Amino acid sequence: MTADIHNIAEQRPHLTVAADGGVHVIPCDLVRSVIAGDKPSTILTEPVLRRIIEEWFQRVVA
Which of 16, 27, 21 shows the shortest CA–CA distance to 52? Answer: 16
Domain boundary assignment for the chain: 14-61
- Measured CA to CA, the distance from residue 1 to residue 56 in angstroms comes to 28
> Is the pLDDT reported for residue 42 higher than 70?
yes
Selected residue with higher pLDDT from 50 and 10: 50
Q: How confident is the model at residue 1 (pLDDT cuts 50, 70, 90)?
A: low
Mean pLDDT over residues 7-22, rounded? 84
Tell me, what amino acid is at 34? V
Please give the pLDDT value at position 10. Answer: 74
Beta strand ranges found along the chain (DSSP E)? 14-19, 22-27
3-state SS class at 6: coil
Which of 22, 29, 17 shows the shortest CA–CA distance to 54? Answer: 17
